[in-house]
Amino acid sequence: MTLKVVGLRRYPVKSMLGEEHDRLEVHERGVVGDRLWALRYADGKLGSGKNHARFRRIPGLLDHYATYDEDGRPVVTAPDGATLRPGDPRIPERFGDGVELVREGPDSQREGHKDVSAVSLVGTASLRALGDLLGDADPVDVRRLRKNIVVETEEPWVEENWVGREIVIGGGQGAQPLRLHAVKRVKRCVMVTQAQPGLPVDNRVLKTLTAVRGMCIGIHTDVVAPADVALGDTVVVL
């Protein structure tokens, strides 16, 4: 079976819904524009679906869609149809006093918005296997897992065997391939259980991953050689 890319996603604002793409540009930091923006409190904590040393839980973030406008600025669409941009006074009204929609950058003198690695990846066979473990007829919906790249695979959990190896994506017809280094398995959190449009609350997902897979599905990767990645690109593991 030839491994190939069958899904690409980018999330402009941390912990909000994002965008599906046919092609993405990948730099050293990861997918260009991915988790580049976040809601930030005055104490520096970032808005999230969970509480953590770095994060503060804001209920309902997964009901908000985030995209980029033609000028590269994030646009957040709320459940009531309101559109919010950085500096909008309605942002603290909706999310809490002192909350701002801020861009990651060296001028902020704060930690980056990404949790662990540059690019996350999961195989389709693992999605099917998790669906089987849940007793469902269908694979688990990849939207719950918020991965950047979905690879068509035949063997469940095979991508975990790529940790420590290099993954080469694309590069046909003389194009520069994207090269990733698989760093570690992705340990999941309560985000995978939460409701979002089209998906109900499902606490089984995290309970099952905890019991059977050490809370993990998919892998974290770092970027070795930046390049574009597109649907249908071949994937080779060295």
- Per residue in 181-237, pLDDT (tens digit) is 999 999 999 999 999 999 999 999 999 999 999 999 999 999 999 999 999 999 999
- Listed in sequence order, the residues at least 6 apart from 191 whose beta carbon sits closer than 8 Å to its beta carbon are 15, 48, 49, 50, 62, 144, 146
User: Under CATH, which number does the domain 4-10+116-237 receive?
Assistant: 2.40.33.20
Helix ranges (DSSP H) in the chain: 90-95, 124-134, 204-213
Parts of the chain belonging to CATH 2.40.33.20: 4-10+116-237
pLDDT tens by residue, 137-196: 999 999 999 999 999 999 999 999 999 999 999 988 888 999 999 999 999 999 999 999
